[in-house]
Structures are given as structure tokens and as C-alpha cells.
Amino acid sequence: MNPRTIPPRIHVLAKPTGSVCNLNCSYCFYLKKELLYPGSRFRMTDEVLENYICQLIQSHQADKVAVTWQGGEPTLMGVGFYRRAIELQEKYRRPGMTFENTMQTNGTLLNDEWCEFFRENDFLIGISIDGPRELHDAHRVDRRGTPTFDRVMMGLRLLQKHGIEYNVLVTVNRVNANHPLNVYRFLRDEAGTNWMQFIPAIERLSEGSVTPYQQGTTVSDRTVESEQWGNFLIAVFDEWVGRDVGKIFVQTFEAAVRNWLGMGSSGMCVFNPVCGQGLALEHNGDLYSCDHFVEPGYLLGNILQRHMINQVGSKQQRKFGRDKLDTLPRACRQCEVRFACHGECPKNRFLTTTDGESGLNYLCKGYKAFFNHIDKPLQIMAQLIRSGVPAAQVMQVLPQDYTEQAEVFFKVGRSESRVGASPWEPTTPEKP
């Protein structure tokens, strides 16, 4: 294996329960993945766990190792599974090596024991919550159809009580997308969170049915609409840029700032020119190109048979990552906000452009509106950061009607404002 084909840090998102979850959120594409492993108990064995940790460490050239747990619902494995994972990290670690364990959970099974464990081992927890009660409960229900808001909030309060570092992940669907400020203000003011991720819910339909694979060119009626997504981001951005810069971190905005600064990587695979550095490990050791492509065509191999490092650096995986760039339609290549959008995620590229080319992103209209809308304030932020001034100063210099007046404030073209090195480094954790 050519060492130049292996990135110094590898992101593998482990799914110890596969797609199994104690909830039954109506838009969840993971649940349908159970079909991939008929008859499986969906529990990662100790053998797979040990190989995972050992190979992850062996594959890392850097001293910081990200260990990411997701599902399904990863807490269904019980705390003992993760105690063992920590033991294995200690067993295989090289001198000077540190671990960043992160877990994405629905929060409903958390208790004091979990939280004590998280604190002892510095876990960063992501909680999935879709906004205030009525918006959250629109789709996030359990297997009996019972709403889950109270249980999720109980989990979140426990994390706060124990001083666990956490962030929230909101799935933006056709219901909550109409209430951006309700969602944002609830998270900020009531849930008390200062780090948020907004993910668009997109369920593709193939022959009229939701499919576990990335197939079909139509979407379900739970799927956020493209313009709706753009309007959601715009509304949240306007609130954020007017009062919360430097206090509240919104992953999409952080990525945008990095792209306006021309930093090389946005910190989000979807807004980078190429991808392929965030793989997904199923409960049985099967390694896939990406969590969104856990399907037969994107299976790289099983870590019990072929070392992870050979799969990460394989021709197949490098092609997967480069395809994000190589398959960009002309509309994207000529787009004025390409530097920020990069055609977003290939899983969402199932529309045809006006000139008949396939591969246009379903969310294109929304992104175009959003990135054009934030251009002026981000030029200002980039300029401030580059001058060594905290980005939060943008709140003082931005006039009410910033889209008009920003033009006068900084007479710089976008290309001018994006060149050069930046003294700014975001302090927020980077997600795969």
C-alpha cells in the first residue's frame, strides 16, 4: 500500500448495532438497512470490536484518533461494550496517542451510569432532536408511535447535569423546515445548546417506495423541499449573524466561513471538492465507502479478512472520493457559489440540469439561494478574520440591511477576500 494514498487521520463511523434502533422515526433511512443483513442479531462481537480498534490505531499516522459511534442506536449495546472499547484503546495505543470518542444518540436511554462513563472518558455526545415538542414529535416516535420529546429532553438534561460535552443534530424535514426560528431559538434558549448541526432529510423513492439504497429520482412527502431548505438556512443564518457569532456554532456556517476564507477544507465532506475520508463500519466488520452508501455496490470488504488500511487506501475508495468532483455537472462547474457548495453530497445528485445533464443536486435551488444570500456577510467576516479581528465583530459592523450596505462597507470582490492565509481556526469539533 502506497503510504501517500492513506490520509494521516482516518474517520470510520462504527455502527455496533447496525441500523437497529429503539425508535422508529418515520424518515429514518437507517431502519430500512436491516434488509441488508437478514437474520442478523445486529450486535458487534468482541472479535470485530478488537479488530476495529486495533486496525484503526494501526492505520493512523497522527496521534489523535477519532472513534465515532453511531447507529441505529449505539446505546443499545450497553455501557459494558464501550468500557471494553476503552480498554482496547488503552491496549493498542501508541505512546502519545489520544482518543476522541464521539457518539450520536437519540438520548432516550441515557442515565447516570452512561453519563458518568461519558465524563470519565471524555466522550462528545451528539443528541438528535428536531426542535420544540410539536416539531420534534412530528416524526421522532418510538415503535409504538409514542412521541419521544420528553425522553430526549431528559437525556439532554442528564448530559448537562453531568457536564458532558454535547451538540445537537436536527434533521430538517418538510414539517420543521417551515419553522426555522422556532427550531433555532428552542435549541439556543431552551435546550441550552451552543453547537448545532442541521441535516436535510431526503428520502428517495424508487417505483413509489422508499428504498434502502440511493435510488430513484422522486422523493417522499417527508423530504424537505429544496427552496424550503434554503429558506431555513437563510432564516437561521440571519438570526445567528445578527447576535450569536462566536457564541453559537452552526456546522454549516462554520464550513461556509472556512470556504470563504479559502482554507482548503470546510470541515464538512459535503462542502469539499472531494470526499471519501469518512467510512462506515457495520456491526459484522463490513466496511463501506460512506455511511450514506451502506449498500452492496459500495462495500469495500470485511476488516476480519482485509486490514482496514488497505480498504481506506484502495483504488475503489479513492475513486469514490474523486467521483464527487469528476461527476460534477456543467451547471455546478460554472456556478458562482461552487467554491462553497461543490455540488454538495453525491447521494443527493439525482436531478437533471436544464441542459439535460444528469447529476444535479436535489437541493441546488436552496443552496444557490443560501450561499448567495450569505455572500456579503461572509466576505466581511473573512476580511475581519484575516485582519486578526474576531469574527464576532461582524455583529457590530453589519448594518440591518446588510445585503445592500455591506457593499459600501467593504469594497472588495469575493476573489480578493478569499486569498491568503488565515489566522482563524475554529474551536469547534470537526465532524466526519
Q: Which three cell numbers stand for residue 184?
A: 433555532
Q: With binding defined as CB under 6 A, does residue 367 bind ligand SF4?
A: yes
When the beta carbons of 99 and 367 are compared against ligand SF4, the nearer one is 367
Residue of the chain from 126, 278, 285, 313 that contacts ligand SF4 (CB under 6 A): 278
Residue of the chain from 337, 374, 385, 394 that contacts ligand SF4 (CB under 6 A): 337
Q: With binding defined as CB under 6 A, does residue 338 bind ligand SF4?
A: yes
When the beta carbons of 184 and 370 are compared against ligand SF4, the nearer one is 370
Taking phi over 0 as left and psi of -120 to 50 as alpha, with beta for the rest, 184 belongs to alpha
C-beta of residue 296 within 8 angstroms of C-beta of residue 38: no
What is the DSSP-derived secondary structure letter of residue 25? -
Residue of the chain from 53, 85, 290, 294 that contacts ligand SF4 (CB under 6 A): 290
Binding segment for ligand SF4 among 113-121, 204-212, 305-313, 338-346 (CB under 6 A)? 338-346
Q: Which of 311, 251, 255 is nearest to 280 (CA)?
A: 311
Q: Which of 274, 266, 172, 283 is nearest to 223 (CA)?
A: 172
Q: Which three cell numbers stand for residue 328?
A: 460534477
Least distance from C-beta 159 to ligand SF4, angstroms? 26
Strands 249-250 and 195-200 turn out to be: parallel
Q: With binding defined as CB under 6 A, does residue 10 bind ligand SF4?
A: no
When the beta carbons of 244 and 286 are compared against ligand SF4, the nearer one is 286
What residues from 295 to 334 belong to the interface with ligand SF4 (CB under 6 A)? Answer: 324, 331-332
Q: With binding defined as CB under 6 A, does residue 60 bind ligand SF4?
A: no
All residues at 6 or more sequence positions from 66 whose CB lies less than 8 Å from its CB, including other chains: 9, 11, 99, 100, 102, 432
CA 283 from centroid of its chain's CA atoms: 20
- Judged by CB under 6 A, the number of residues near ligand SF4 is 23
Q: With binding defined as CB under 6 A, does residue 275 bind ligand SF4?
A: yes
Binding segment for ligand SF4 among 199-207, 271-279, 295-303, 377-385 (CB under 6 A)? 271-279
Taking phi over 0 as left and psi of -120 to 50 as alpha, with beta for the rest, 334 belongs to alpha
What residues from 74 to 113 belong to the interface with ligand SF4 (CB under 6 A)? Answer: none
Question: Count of alpha carbons within 13 Å of 120, Cβ hemisphere only?
Answer: 11
Least distance from C-beta 377 to ligand SF4, angstroms? 18
Q: With binding defined as CB under 6 A, does residue 288 bind ligand SF4?
A: no
Least distance from C-beta 172 to ligand SF4, angstroms? 16
What residues from 342 to 361 belong to the interface with ligand SF4 (CB under 6 A)? Answer: 343-347, 361
189 is catalytic: no
Q: With binding defined as CB under 6 A, does residue 335 bind ligand SF4?
A: yes
All residues at 6 or more sequence positions from 101 whose CB lies less than 8 Å from its CB, including other chains: 67, 68, 69, 82, 85, 86, 121, 122, 123, 124
Segment (H or E) for 118:
helix 112-120
CA 62 from centroid of its chain's CA atoms: 22
Among residues 130, 137, 286, 291, which one is catalytic? 291
What is the DSSP-derived secondary structure letter of residue 103? E
Least distance from C-beta 52 to ligand SF4, angstroms? 19
Rounded Cα distance between 153 and 114, Å, is 15
Catalytic (active-site) positions: 291
What does the binding site for ligand SF4 look like in residue numbers (CB under 6 A)?
Answer: 269-270, 275-276, 278, 290, 292, 324, 331-332, 335, 337-338, 341, 343-347, 361, 364, 367-368
